[in-house]
Structure 1
Amino acid sequence: MTQPQIITRGNWRKVTPEDAGWQFSGLEIAQLSAGEAITFEADALERAFVPLSGKVTVEVAGETYEIGGRASVFDGLGYTLYVPRDTAVRVVALDDAELAIASSVAEKKYEVRLVTPDDLSVESRGGGNASRQVSTPIPPDFPADRLLVVEVWTPGGNWSSYPPHKHEVDREGESQLEEIYYYRLRDPENGWAVQRAYSPERDFDLTETVRDGDVCLLPWAYHTTVAAHGHDLYYLNVLAGGAEGRTLQACQDPALAETQNDWATAQADERVPFVPRYPENS
């Protein structure tokens, strides 16, 4: 299996399990011009279609769904269309669009299901300068086989995925999940963040700058992210694992887990939540 790594924008468009050296998780980013169409064959992958910007129609199982509409990931919560395995799909861009296609190898077949911003909570997590906004379009109780999808927004200067945690072993309080991060910055030209992934047991420590359009592969390791001051950060999480139970349970770094005890008395970051449910003027 691969070790944690950052792949910079321009050096990737699609991550498959074969690329990553693992079993399940995948991600593709499609940059579509208005009127452009892409197709997906019926195969062993369950997929989640998440417009990051623009609007598309998705033709699947005799139905057509129109999804999207935000100008960027910072303008509103996302739409997600879940499509099970063994199901062909045709996508047509109604205007210029960026479309994320999260996927996992699946055994069981479920039903097509649309998740709209009305179905999502505008959730604040953490405290102090570890405050961030989270929505989970495909949570553990979603009727899917393995795929889990999360959207996270972190205001500039704040920590996210904190305390550092890992999804490495299927056991009480932890799940083994292959995780992909896809980063977008509000300022794509100048914005940046820092991703750390580390494993004392493996004598491994990666601390690397990430920029708009980069992707991180996390097969194991404690991990956490911090947005540079003044640079709001978004990332899409794609996770999947082989355990029978669907869960996002994580094991926190025991050396840092107690830092969250201060959140109950810490002054809340007034910027969070800072992404509305729907774009203004929608």
Structure 2
Amino acid sequence: MTEHNEWFFPCGMLSEGVWESAVDSSLPGWQHTGLRVAQLDGGAAELPAGDVERIVVPLSGSFAVEHEGRSTRLAGRASVFDGPTDVLYVGAGEGLVVRGSGRVAVAEAPTTIRKPSVHIAADDVPVELRGAGADSRQVHNFGTPAALDAASLIVCEVITPGGNWSSHPAHKHDENVPGHESRLEEIYYFEVAPVRGGSAPEDADAFATFATYSSAAGDIETNALVRSGDIALVPFGYHGPAVAPPEYDLYYLNVMAGPDEERVWLVSDDPRQAWLRDTWAELDTDPRLPYRTDTTTQGATR
């Protein structure tokens, strides 16, 4: 019998040293992806060299990353709702030290394949406006196969404006069906904030919702109110929707990797919900998007 919300972890539940949250293969049933999140106030967070590739993602603030005998400056951003940030990919076999002030995430995947490290500027991050109408959301594809030459990692982040739905229709990627579906573990890291221009007080309890449910690959059930810093893991099964209440904007960072030889993100919609995509052709993209500060949107797709 599946335990309700067994793959959902409120902020701080996975703390480890300087890391507010640490996801890795020490968690039972988890093996292909990792994520570490820290709040630094001028301090440092260190990760050793090993058979693991990483992407350093400033959530808020700016940082310097020491790696391979040099230091890379990440300009970062004010918050996750201020458009894309620059990121740093550090290939397997290299350790790193992150220094600075703000919140930082480090996505991970174990691999013995060595790829060169690379700094991706915010202006070079592909920005996708996905869906339409109330299903509109903004995707920053800095760690997808088209944007980054990594070994296993597939990483992106999504902004869902208040009142909108994302990870919708519900879909899965837990079978190897060449050309149709790939096997990928997935991590969702969430942040939530009052909508731009809204009237919510500073101490408002910002939240959103997230769901998963079972597929032939295994039993899973998540029906959670999510708040900033919470993490949901998806080892298998259908996942979605992620829904933002009208008063709050929703952000999540997705980290994916899996056992298949090809690094590709291919999904199967729940056949009972796949029809929803057909409705987007007659709807406009939410005019509030894109959420950006100083870069230019690259084409929208549906």
1:214 correspondence with 2:214: no
SS of 2:275's equivalent in the other structure is helix
State the match for 2:245 in structure 1: 228
What is the SS of the residue equivalent to 1:17? coil
Q: Map 1:55-70; keep pairs closer than 5 Å.
A: 55-70=62-77
Counterpart in the other structure of 1:22 = 30
Q: What is the TM-score of this pair, normalised by structure 1?
A: 0.92
User: 2 CA distance for matches of 1:203 and 1:106?
Assistant: 28
SS of corresponding position for 2:259: coil
Give per-residue Cα distances to partners, 1:150-184, cap 9 Å, x unaligned. 01000011110111111111113111101000000
User: Is the Cα contact below 8 Å between 2:163 and 2:244 reproduced in 1?
Assistant: yes
Q: Which runs of 5+ in 2 are unaligned?
A: 15-20, 195-202, 296-302
- 1:4 touches 1:218 (CA, 8 Å); kept in 2? no
**Are 1:77 and 1:277, in contact at CA under 8 Å, matched by a contact in 2?**
no
Which of 251, 258, 267 is equivalent to 1:241? Answer: 258
Q: Which amino acid is 1:10 matched to?
A: G
2:282 aligned with 1:265, yes or no?
yes
Conserved? CA contact 1:52–1:68, under 8 Å: no
Partner of 1:170: 176
**Contact conserved, 2:56 with 2:106, CA < 8 A, in 1?**
yes
Structure 1 SS opposite 2:276: helix
Give the equivalent residue in structure 1 for 2:150: 144
For residue 72 of structure 1, give the secondary structure of its aligned residue in structure 2.
Answer: coil
Match status 1:72 vs 2:79: yes
Residue aligned with 1:135, SS? strand
The whole-number CA distance in structure 2 between the counterparts of 1:145 and 1:252 is 26
2:8: which partner in 1?
6
Which of residues 160, 165, 183 is equivalent to 2:166?
160
List gaps (5 residues or longer) in structure 1: none
Shift of 1:227: 0.8
TM-superposed deviation, 1:121? 2.3
Partner Cα distance (2:276, 2:126) in 1: 25
- Partners in 2 of 1:45 and 1:183 — Cα distance? 23
User: How far apart are the structure 2 equivalents of 1:15 and 1:261?
Assistant: 36
Cα distance between partner residues in 2 of 1:260 and 1:186: 27
Which residue of 124, 128, 131 corresponds with 1:123? 128
Per-residue CA deviation, residues 69-126 of structure 1 (Å, 9 max, x unaligned), is 3111112312110001111212221xx2111010000120010111111111232100
Contact 2:183 2:258 (C-alpha < 8 Å) held by counterparts: yes
SS of 2:260's equivalent in the other structure is coil
User: What letter corresponds to residue 160 of structure 1 in structure 2?
Assistant: S
Shift, 1:6, TM fit: 1.1
Q: SS at the partner of 2:254?
A: strand
1:111 aligns with 2:116: yes
Amino acid in structure 1 at the alignment position of 2:70: E
Structure 2: distance between partners of 1:102 and 1:49: 7
What is the rounded CA distance, in whole Å, between the counterparts of 2:12 and 2:46 in structure 1? 22
Asked whether the equivalents of residues 36 and 106 of structure 2 are also in contact (C-alpha less than 8 Å), the reply is yes
The 8 Å contact of residues 167 and 174 in structure 1, kept in 2 or not, is answered as yes
CA distance in 1, matches of 2:156, 2:6: 19
Give the Cα separation in 1 of the matches to 2:220 and 2:156: 26
Structure 1 residues 230-252: Cα deviation after superposition (integer angstroms, max 9, x where no partner) = 21000000001111111111111
In 1, Cα distance between the equivalents of 2:109 and 2:204?
A: 31
Give the percent of matched residue pairs that are identical in Structure 1 and Structure 2: 39
TM-score by length of 2: 0.86
User: 1:52-81: CA deviations, max 9, x gaps?
Assistant: 011111111122110033111112312110
Q: 1:160/1:132 Cα in 2 relative to 1: closer, same or farther (>3 Å)?
A: same
Change (3 A) 1:140 1:227: same
Matched-pair contact (CA < 8 Å) for 1:4–1:217? no
